[in-house]
Amino acid sequence: MIGRTYLEAGSPVRVLIRWGKTAAGPSAPIGPLNDCSWGRRRAPHNVLIERQDGSRVVRPFRGLRKLPEVSHG
């Protein structure tokens, strides 16, 4: 998830950090170096994204979509 590109309303965005429950506390930021498994039936809630214009915003992960698969034919 972290470092991956997703679509937000059709525009690509990159996930920089996600917040989740960790040993450090329920809302500790999880970066690329300390990402942990989500556990059973838990999903990430909020993520810091970077939009194409360089702006950064914290938003719910829900609603971000995977990029469509590209066939190399």
Tens digit of each residue's pLDDT (9 = 90 or more) over 40-61: 556 558 999 999 999 999 999 9
To the nearest whole number, what is the mean pLDDT of the chain?
78
One-letter amino acid for residue 35 of the chain? D
Percent of the chain, pLDDT > 90? Answer: 48
Rounded to two decimals, the pTM is: 0.66
Measured between alpha carbons, how far is 55 from 18 in angstroms, rounded to an integer? 16
- Give residue for tokens 């999903």: 43
What are the structure tokens assigned to 55, written together?
């702006």
Measured between alpha carbons, how far is 44 from 10 in angstroms, rounded to an integer? 21
Q: Give the model's confidence band at 70: pLDDT under 50 very low, under 70 low, under 90 confident, else very high.
A: confident
